[in-house]
Every structure is written in C-alpha cells, then in structure tokens.
Amino acid sequence: FVLLIFSTFIVSTPYPSTRGMFTSWSDLRRRQGKHGTPRYSHIQQLLSEYSDRTTSVQHRQQILANLANFAYDPINYDFFLRLSVPDIFIEAVASSDNVLIGFSLGGIANLCSDRGFCRYFIQRDLVSVLERCLSSGRTRLIHSALTVLLQIAATTSEVLTSAKLRESCIALIDHTDHRIANMANIYMIDSDSSKTTS
C-alpha cells in the first residue's frame, strides 16, 4: 500500500519514468538484448552525469528521479551499494532544492522495502531528515517523509520515533490533504502501539 502511494507520486512527475522494472536476471538479460547496455554501467553513467558540475539543475533532477525509480527493483540493490547510490540520496536530502529532496526521499522509500537499507539509512540520521521534511510546510515533501516512515515500519515492524516526529504527525492529522492526514494518523497509531508494547 505504501509503495503504491509513492510510485504514483514518482510517475506523476514531469520527468521520464523507468517503470516496468526487471524482476530477475533472466528478465534483465532478455530485455537488454545481446547488445544492450548493462544496468551497472548505465547507473554508473547516470552518477557520472549527476556529479558533473556542468550538468544543469533540471538534468540532475531528472537523473535523481530515474535513480529513485530504479530503487524500486531489488535487482538493482547490489549495483546501488557498489556505486554508493544510497549516499547520493542522503546528500540530496540535505540540499536546498526541494525537487531533489523529493526524489531522494522517493529513492529512500523504495529502498526501505529492504531491512538492510532501513538500517543503513537510520544509521545516517534519517530521523533528523524526516523531522525537517515534516515541518517544511511543503505537501509533497511531507507526503514523501510519511511514506518513508510507514515503509520502514512495514519492513522492520519497528516505528521510528522522536518527540519532534510525534509532534509533527499530531499536527498533520488535521492536514487538509486527506492522504497526509490519514498517513499521519496511521503513524501515530503505530507509534502509540509501539510504546505500549515496549
């Protein structure tokens, strides 16, 4: 449910989508064809363009959107680790570009369907990132941050919590965007339940 909400957000952006991801190595080889571009090389090329200082802001946004969508497919996990793509998402979240922040949160949400990535991001102070986004006043960033919170809870059966996260989510229960209000309410129910059972 959570990933479905988020994938709709990604696909609805004005940038090219990389949906229709591969689910096995045989699918990958079949779709690439005999002379297709290997996935690792393609991701590496995207990262090279992203880090190039001459790359325009819009193109960097497009690249990050594509990487966020690539994060939806577990077949890319090893490539992402080898190329440090999760660190790119973390760095982008700290930027002043709200578009980059939104796409990086998307990549994080998709990767957090895996327990290992959940731990990876939590160790990199993800809570502070989410606190900042939830209090940003920007609907899309708030929605994305809530998606990450709920995805981590669904994957790990653990609820990330802090006084500031709870304070923000309590306020968001009355948000005019019903998706945000519902997600904030779900988070508070999970958070309260976690406190009761701990």
How does pLDDT run across 129-155, given as a tens digit for each residue? 999 999 999 999 999 999 999 999 999
Name the average pLDDT for the chain. Answer: 84
- Report the C-alpha gap between 40 and 76 in whole angstroms: 8
Question: Residue 98 corresponds to which tokens in the numbers above?
Answer: 């709200």
HEC per residue, 89-110? HHHHHCCCCHHHHHHHHHHHHH
Query: Distance (Å, rounded) from C-alpha 160 to C-alpha 162?
Result: 7
Q: Over 60: is that where the pLDDT of 23 sits?
A: no
- The pLDDT, as a whole number, for residue 39 is 87
CA distance 84 to 63: 15
- Look at residues 132, 166, 134, 163 and name the one whose alpha carbon lies nearest to residue 147: 134
pLDDT at 194: 75
pTM equals 0.80
Per-residue model confidence (pLDDT) at position 5: 37
Closest CA to 2 of 183, 197, 175, 192: 183
Angle at 128 between CA 126 and CA 129, to 5 degrees: 65
Rounded CA separation 163/150 (Å): 17
How far is the C-alpha of 68 from the C-alpha of 122, rounded, in Å?
18
